[in-house]
Structure 1
Amino acid sequence: MSSQVHQAKQAFGARLREIRKDASLTGRALAAATGLHVSKVSRIEHAGQNPSEEDIRRWCQACKADDQIPELIATLRGIEGMWLEWKRQLRGGLKRMQETFDRHHERASVVRSYESIVVPGILQTAAYCEAVLRIAADFYGTDGDIAAAVEARMNRQRFLYQSDRRFLFVVEAWALRTIFGGVDVMLGQLDRLLAVATLPRVSFGVIPPGRIRQMWPGEGFFLFDDDLAVIETTSAEIKVTQPQEIRLFADAFRRLQGEAVFGAEARGLITGTMDDLAVSEVLNGTADSPNSP
């Protein structure tokens, strides 16, 4: 089990234990009041077993903490659904994984995205997307249906043009300079970002290099309204639905937005990166030329 999931279960168990103690109930007294076995009460409090939603209702009712039931159930659902191993998801193929992610966009009216290393998937060109997905297919040993997966991700861009949705993006400057697929591919991708940044319902910010940070760089994440956060790590996709944690990600995004530049300044960083890449390509081409001295 992931240490992050175990920590979440420990924190949840500790919270239930505090609710019991606040009600001045022993473990045996709670067990008698709820019909739970006393050993199950102990396992729940020490992260050895997840309670059911009915267990939580009985627990809170016995402790006269009915007002906490909705948030505790939301937390439980978040723990149960937060950790989905990439390999299990990828068994259905890269294309199916892309279509699954589309469902989050379909339900949301405001999508916030932060990326530290790569361009957000919904903003990628086909060539850039193919380069990224080829790495994923090789690393995770999934099927080679790259073309279908690229097409599915490209279809996701339809959401950018729908008037009932807003998209807010923040990327680190080095996401613009991390090369996938070669310099030509990156130049095409950066040109695409210049176009996307002008869309009326899209906000695109770049955190400049050398910025004195007030918020640390971290893993990439998506926020769909205030209902769901999706965080992608090397080994898994974490889905967070617990309201307190959603608020943390929303605050992190707000702080990261505060460090980013937008409009002409952001476009200047993009075009500056394009100039640097073009110069680098020329220099490398000269160095590799058989006629070079």
Structure 2
Amino acid sequence: MTLPGITPFDGTTLSPTSSSGASNVHEARNALGKRLRELRRQADLSGRQLAESLSWPASKVSKLENGRQTPTDDDIRGWTGATGSEHETESLLASLHTLEVQHAEWQRILRTGLKPRQQAHIEWDQKTRLFRAFEATVIPGLLQTSEYARARFAEGIRRLNLPNDINEAVQARMMRQEILYRPDKRFHFVLTEAALRFRLCAPGIMLGQLDRLISFSQLPNVRLGIIGFETRYATSPWHGFWMYDTERVLVETFSAALDLRQPQEIELYGNAFEQLAAVAGYGRSARTIINRVIEDFAPEAPEDGG
């Protein structure tokens, strides 16, 4: 699954050539409808027969099968019961629940400002033991300096016309970074060299950010990999994503957040992360790439780092 955009919130990046989050949800609803149709046909029932057995209007079966209406939990249970496919109930319910939560529009999420979004991460921060993040174009939120974070938040406020609580949002992000020092947490970050070079803020700010990356990479529970420009990829770096243990994958787009929790999707992203991590450089190799970028930025930065 590939989606467009660059988010300023947690630093997840997406391919500009891929489909929108909204169309992805539409496709998911269609896929669920097709699966329901398959179960009806396997039971050798017409749409009218199924509707009559469930005391539904005949049009409801057609709407559900063609993705024009989202089923409820009771609809799913009734469908599988009437078609003798109760063994499919849990899988279908998982698909339905993923569909319900995976697309949440930023305008709704951030209606009250940026700070609440940062605070909303705390629950998952507390329960997660292994954080895995891949970023292709920006520095991950947990590794950002306050100046870099401010630039990212400012972009979001400008683009989405949000309430300006940037100072509170930056403070909340910096407080979240305290989790990096907890010995019961492990972090594995993989970045592309492009993420170190994209000019999303002033050169002086980037220099401070790159220096911070080197510092964070030396924490005992943080593993930082950098994929250099010369590297040959086994998996295309279509977009960034975050993995919380094996429970959740978070992908952010220009317009929405995708919250993926189906086992098959988590497995797919887990495999993609491992393949991207396998071609990254770590330790001295990663620091060599970071220092190379620092040398390129240094001549452009004023002496006061502004």
So what's the TM-score if we normalise by structure 1? Answer: 0.91
Q: Determine the C-alpha separation between the residues in 2 that align with 1:168 and 1:25.
A: 50
1:4 aligns to what? 24
More helix by percentage:
1
Shift of 1:11: 0.8
Q: Please say which structure displays the higher CA radius of gyration.
A: 1
> Quick check: 1:75–1:241 contact (8 Å CA) kept in 2?
no
Q: Which runs of structure 2 are paired with 1:29-108 in the superposition (5 Å)?
A: 29-108=49-128
Counterpart CA distance in 2 for 1:260 and 1:192 is: 19
Q: Percentage identity across aligned positions? A: 38
Deviations 1:34-86 (A, max 9, x none): 33332111111100101111111121222222222222111111111111111
CA RMSD of aligned residues (A): 1.9
- Which residue in the other structure is 1:240 paired with? 260
Matches within 5 A, 1:1-293: 2-281=22-301
Distance 1:229 1:20 in 2: 32
Unpaired stretches in structure 1, ≥5 consecutive residues: 283-293
What number of residue pairs does the alignment pair up? 284
Q: Secondary structure at the match of 2:175?
A: helix
The Cα offsets for residues 121-177 of structure 1, whole Å up to 9 and x where unpaired, read as 011011111111111111111112111000001111122122222111111111011
The whole-number CA distance in structure 2 between the counterparts of 1:53 and 1:205 is: 42
Per the TM alignment, residue 189 of structure 1 is displaced from its structure 2 partner at its CA by 0.7
Following the alignment from structure 1 to structure 2, what is the Cα–Cα distance between the partners of residues 94 and 195?
27
The TM-score normalised by the length of structure 2 is 0.88
Given that residues 10 and 46 in structure 1 are in contact (C-alpha distance below 8 angstroms), is that contact kept between their aligned partners in structure 2?
A: yes
C-alpha distance 250-45 of structure 1, shift in aligned 2 (>3 A): same
Cα distance in structure 2, aligned partners of 1:61 and 1:227: 29
* Aligned counterparts of 1:225 and 1:90: Cα–Cα separation in 2: 25
Superposed displacement of residue 33, structure 1: 3.3
Question: What residue ranges of structure 2 are gaps of 5+ in the alignment?
Answer: 1-20
Q: How far, CA to CA, are the matches of 1:41 and 1:228 in structure 2?
A: 31
> Does the 8 Å contact 2:233/2:276 carry over to 1?
no
CA distance in 2, matches of 1:61, 1:166: 44
More contact order relative to length (CA 8 Å, sep ≥ 6): 2
